[in-house]
Amino acid sequence: MRRGETRSGSNAPGSQLVPEIIFNAVDRSEWIENYIAERSGKLERFAQGITRCHVALKQEQGSHRKGNVYSVTVEVRIPPQHDLAATKQKEIVDMATQLPAVINAAFGAIERQLKRTAALRRNEQKVHAADGQARGIVDKLFAEDGYGFLRTVDDNRQIYFHRNSVLNDDFERIAVGTEVRFSEEEGDEGPQASSLHVVSII
């Protein structure tokens, strides 16, 4: 823990999600903790299975204005290991009336991200059910040798693919980070991708 930081909050096994709150050059207070706990308790409305909520309140350095600039960062994690973060900041004169607005804005931003993520996952599930294909991201690529490895989005597994399995002669377009859809089959040395279709290039 850095100088000037205090922490509160912990998750007990099987308990409701409790936010971890870090106060960095901000006085710890019960009303702030209660307000953050109230807002974090509503996050499950937007996405199920949140495993972590981390909130950092910080007074920024070097302000010569009438008030000090404070920032609020909210980070959440949803399965399998998907991290989202949002930061809002504002010059504050009256902590009691203005800080809740900054906290509210940061939580509003993370809620919008959770909504988008949940909507994308629902759409992916529909597409997967319709065409039987999974989604992956190119994790490693050995272009000269004509093969690489995908990282599956759903369960974070690594799967081998060969250039011959890439549709539309798109192997040359592929790079690390390319999003693909594919069918999985069992090869001589384990699972491998077939009928690999390039979805997007970074």
Spacing of C-alpha 192 from chain mean position: 27
Q: Distance (Å, rounded) from C-alpha 121 to C-alpha 116?
A: 9
Residue reference for tokens 């002669």: 169
pLDDT in tens, 168-197: 889 999 999 999 999 888 877 788 998 899
Residue 110 has a pLDDT of 92
pLDDT in tens, 114-164: 888 877 777 665 555 445 678 899 999 999 999 999 999 888 899 999 999
Percent of the chain with pLDDT over 70: 84
Q: Which amino acid is at 157?
A: R
Q: Distance (Å, rounded) from C-alpha 191 to C-alpha 138?
A: 15
Q: Which amino acid is at 44?
A: E
Host H or E run for residue 55:
strand 52-59
pLDDT in tens, 84-100: 899 999 998 888 889 99
Mean pLDDT across the chain: 84
Q: Distance (Å, rounded) from C-alpha 141 to C-alpha 158?
A: 12
Residue reference for tokens 């996050």: 43
Question: 56: burial class by Cβ within 10 Å (0-12, 13-18, 19+)?
Answer: buried
Helix axes 30-40, 95-131, angle to 10 degrees: 20
